[in-house]
Amino acid sequence: MSQKQRDLEYYEALLNHIKTPSIRSGTGIRTAALEHLVLGTPQSELARKHGVAQSNLNRLIKRIRELDAWVGYISQLRAARDEKA
Q: What is the pLDDT of residue 30?
A: 92
Chain mean pLDDT for the chain: 91
10 closest CA partner among 83, 72, 77, 82: 72
pLDDT of 24 over the 80 cut: no
State the number of CA atoms in the 13 A half-sphere of 64 facing the CB: 25
Question: Please, which pLDDT band fits residue 43 given cuts at 50, 70 and 90?
Answer: very high
pLDDT (tens digit per residue) in 44-85: 999 999 999 999 999 999 999 999 999 999 999 999 888 886
Walk me through the domains of the chain, giving residue ranges and CATH numbers: 3-84 (1.10.10)
Nearest alpha carbon to residue 18 among 50, 62, 52, 80: 62
pLDDT tier, 22 (very low <50, low <70, confident <90, very high otherwise) = low
pLDDT attached to residue 17: 83
**pTM attached to this predicted model:** 0.83
